[in-house]
Copies of this chain bind each other. A is one copy, B any other.
Amino acid sequence: MENPGHTSYADDPKIDALVNETIGRVADKWTLLVLEALEEAGARRFSDLGRSVPGISQKMLTQTLRQMEREGLVSREVFAEVPPRVEYRLTDLGHELGEAFCGVWQWAERNLARIEAARADYDARKAP
């Protein structure tokens, strides 16, 4: 504890703001789920992806993929065929992000019970 070097991620508040903004764009629900879906398979096409992400709508899938593409997390390959085929895959950057999130994922998985207990406890104290 004390200060092993992980408390301050950036000394420059300018950088800090940029980092926060970046995380904000990258850490939303659908992005996480698509990231996970793409980590399991090397490449996936649009509909396939839609089917493997639980409750995502076509609009949100499109939107999420566009944003991820813009941030450089996924690459998009269009095949000149009929019917059209488009494949998405993680870039190196995207894969690295997936690995980084791995820690958060594991934290959540490891502490599900604790969190559930905390919530139950809180609710019990609030509405007895």
Contacts and interface: CB of A to CB of B under 8 A. Distances in A.
Main secondary structure of the interface of A (DSSP, over half): helix
A18 B1 CA distance: 30
B112 A18 contact: yes
A35 B59 CA distance: 32
Contact of A107 (B20, B54, B96, B118): B96
Contacts of A108: 19, 22-23, 26
A40 interface: yes
A87 interface: no
Nearest to A97: B107
Interface in A49-108: 54, 69-72, 93, 95-108
A126 to B, nearest CB: 8
Interface of A: 1, 6-10, 15, 17-20, 22-24, 26-29, 32-33, 36, 39-40, 54, 69-72, 93, 95-109, 111-112, 114-115, 117-119, 121-123
Would you list the 10 A-B pairs with minimal beta carbon distance, nearest first? A72-B118, A100-B107, A100-B103, A70-B122, A103-B103, A9-B105, A100-B104, A22-B108, A6-B102, A19-B108
